[in-house]
Chain A
Amino acid sequence: MIVDLVDTDHHVHSTWSDDAVSTPAENLAAAQRAGLASIRMVDHVRVGTTYVPEFLAEVAALPRVDGLEVLTGVEAKILDASGRLDVPADLVVGPGGVDRVLIADHQFPGPDGSWSPRRTLEELAAGLSAQDAMSMLVQATCSAMERAGRGQLAHLFSLLPKIGLHESELLDEHLTAIADTAVRTGTTVEVNEKWRCPGPRAVLALAAAGVDLVGSTDSHEASTVGSYSWVAEAASARRLVGAR
Chain B
Amino acid sequence: MQFKPYAKSLAVALSLAFVAGCSSSGGTQDGALDGTAGSGTGGVAGQGQGMMSGQAGGTSMQAGQQGRIPDVRTIYFDFDSDQIRSEFQSVLTAHAQYLRSNGNARVVLEGHSDERGTREYNMALGERRAQSVERFLTVQGVSPSQFEIVSYGEERPAVRGHSEDAYAQNRRVVFSY
Do A and B come from the same complex?
A: no
Interface residues of B (CB under 8 A from A): none
On A, residues with C-beta under 8 Å from B are none
